[in-house]
């Protein structure tokens, strides 16, 4: 096959180039994200391989199909950037249904521990020779309630980690796994009774802003929110308000609602003009990482 890779990073080339050529595929790597402006670059290719911030809406799919593309392969598990209705009957779509669930669940736990125990602040201090521990107090997770929204493979593994911390685990999922041993409850009860809320669900029209102003108001005071799924599961404005009011004790975010422009890129020498992202980065009780929970080595 002739394959066009979009939104290519150096590690993509490192891992995919040799494997594709070994199997007889011709590969072209593009730095550009797939969009209505760049889809024409796939002319003459059999397949395109895309990532989380590429766009495959109806217009893009029409351009791809009209130029001979027969397959869209997502190198991720999320699929919210694909218009399946538009693709139906024109282009096959495949994804990675189980993308490193252990890595992502472990990373979610790492975010929780780091934000609760103020680990990044502590490291920043000691690197500057400051060994004062004022302001670094956390809370015991043992005995507290972890509320998990979404119990696919990642959510179930995160539930196991929380049980290892001696936490009570409750979960909400419209399709509960009754064989998992997890205590399922309503979303309203989970929101109001959890000390930690961790998101492990796909982004759909039903889950968009599943964490919003009204639900944050019903949360326990001092709740921790963890998101390693998709940024738009959380209403960023409402999250910031909850942090300002100290309703939310901390947030660990590996994704961001408007991440497309910034994540996976280096802006260290530029001014970030996204005011909400800058606000989140300014909070001492918020950790923002650059969508790296999936990133691991076997």
The CATH number of residue 53's host domain is 3.40.50.720
In contact, 250 and 223? CB cutoff 8 Å: no
How far from chain centre, in Å, is Cα 281? 17
293 is a domain residue? no
Is there a single domain that holds both residue 79 and residue 148?
Answer: no
Alpha-carbon distance of 30 to 90, in angstroms, equals 23
Is there a single domain that holds both residue 55 and residue 165?
Answer: no
Q: Return the structure tokens found at 155.
A: 């959510």
Positive or negative, the Cα torsion across 272, 273, 277, 281?
A: positive
In contact, 169 and 195? CB cutoff 8 Å: no
Burial label for 6, CB within 10 Å (0-12, 13-18, 19+), is buried
Is there a single domain that holds both residue 74 and residue 113?
Answer: no
pLDDT recorded at residue 99: 75
Is there a single domain that holds both residue 90 and residue 106?
Answer: no
In contact, 258 and 297? CB cutoff 8 Å: no
Alpha-carbon distance of 61 to 82, in angstroms, equals 9
pLDDT recorded at residue 97: 82
**What domain range includes position 167?**
101-288
- What are the angstrom distances between the C-alpha of 180 and each of 151, 159, 212, 229? 9, 10, 28, 21
Tell me the longest C-alpha to C-alpha distance in the chain: 63
154 is a domain residue? yes
pLDDT recorded at residue 298: 64
pLDDT recorded at residue 189: 98
Is there a single domain that holds both residue 127 and residue 218?
Answer: yes
Is there a single domain that holds both residue 64 and residue 24?
Answer: yes
Query: How would you list the strands of the sheet with 196-199, edge to edge?
Result: 183-184, 168-172, 145-149, 196-199, 223-227, 248-253, 286-288
Number of domains into which the chain is organized:
2
Q: What's the alpha-carbon Rg for the chain, to the nearest Å?
A: 21
> pLDDT digit string (tens) for 226-256?
999 999 999 999 999 999 999 999 999 999 9
35 is a domain residue? yes
Kindly report the pTM of this predicted structure: 0.88
297 is a domain residue? no
298 is a domain residue? no
Is there a single domain that holds both residue 66 and residue 108?
Answer: no
258 is a domain residue? yes
Is there a single domain that holds both residue 113 and residue 78?
Answer: no
Is there a single domain that holds both residue 142 and residue 255?
Answer: yes
Positive or negative, the Cα torsion across 140, 144, 147, 148?
A: positive
Is there a single domain that holds both residue 77 and residue 108?
Answer: no
Domain boundary among 45, 73, 94: 94
In contact, 143 and 169? CB cutoff 8 Å: no
Is there a single domain that holds both residue 142 and residue 269?
Answer: yes
49 is a domain residue? yes
Q: Report helix angle 119-127 to 101-116, nearest 10.
A: 70
Is there a single domain that holds both residue 70 and residue 115?
Answer: no
Residue 218 CB partners (closer than 8 Å, separation 6+): 188, 191, 192
pLDDT in tens for each of the 298 residues of the chain?
Answer: 999 999 999 999 998 999 998 999 999 999 999 999 999 999 999 999 999 999 999 999 999 999 999 999 999 888 899 999 999 999 999 998 877 899 999 999 999 999 999 999 999 999 999 999 999 999 999 999 999 999 999 999 999 999 999 999 999 999 999 899 999 999 999 999 999 999 999 999 999 999 999 999 999 999 999 999 999 999 999 999 999 999 999 999 999 999 989 999 999 999 999 999 999 999 999 999 999 999 887 6
| Partners of 196 in the β-ladder | 146, 224
Active site residues per annotation: 230, 259, 291
């Amino acid at each position: 096959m002739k394959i066009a890779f979009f939104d290519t990073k150096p590690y993509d080339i490192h891992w995919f180039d040799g494997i594709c050529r070994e199997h007889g595929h011709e590969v072209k790597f593009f730095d550009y994200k797939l969009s209505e402006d760049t889809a024409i670059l796939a002319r003459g290719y059999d397949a395109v391989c895309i990532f989380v911030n590429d766009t495959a809406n109806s217009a893009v799919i029409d351009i791809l199909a009209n130029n001979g593309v027969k397959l869209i392969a997502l190198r991720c598990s999320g699929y919210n950037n694909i218009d399946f209705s538009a693709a139906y009957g024109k282009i096959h779509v495949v994804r990675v249904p189980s993308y490193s669930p252990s890595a992502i669940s472990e990373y979610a736990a790492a975010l929780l521990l780091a934000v609760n125990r103020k680990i990044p602040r502590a490291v920043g201090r000691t690197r500057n020779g400051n060994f004062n521990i004022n302001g670094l107090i956390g809370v015991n997770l043992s005995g507290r309630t972890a509320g998990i929204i979404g119990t696919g493979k990642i959510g179930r593994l995160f539930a196991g980690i929380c049980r290892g911390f001696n936490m009570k685990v409750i979960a909400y999922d419209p399709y509960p796994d009754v064989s998992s041993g997890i205590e399922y409850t309503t979303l309203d009860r989970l929101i109001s009774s959890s000390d930690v809320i961790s998101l492990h669900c796909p982004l759909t029209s039903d889950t968009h802003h599943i964490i919003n102003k009204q639900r944050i108001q019903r949360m326990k005071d001092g709740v921790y929110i963890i998101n390693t799924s998709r940024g738009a599961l959380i209403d960023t404005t409402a999250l910031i308000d909850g942090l300002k009011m100290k309703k939310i004790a901390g947030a660990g975010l590996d994704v961001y609602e408007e991440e497309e422009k910034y994540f996976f890129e280096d802006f260290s020498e530029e001014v970030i003009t996204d005011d909400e992202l800058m606000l989140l980065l300014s909070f001492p009780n918020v950790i923002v990482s650059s969508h790296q929970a999936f990133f691991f080595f076997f």
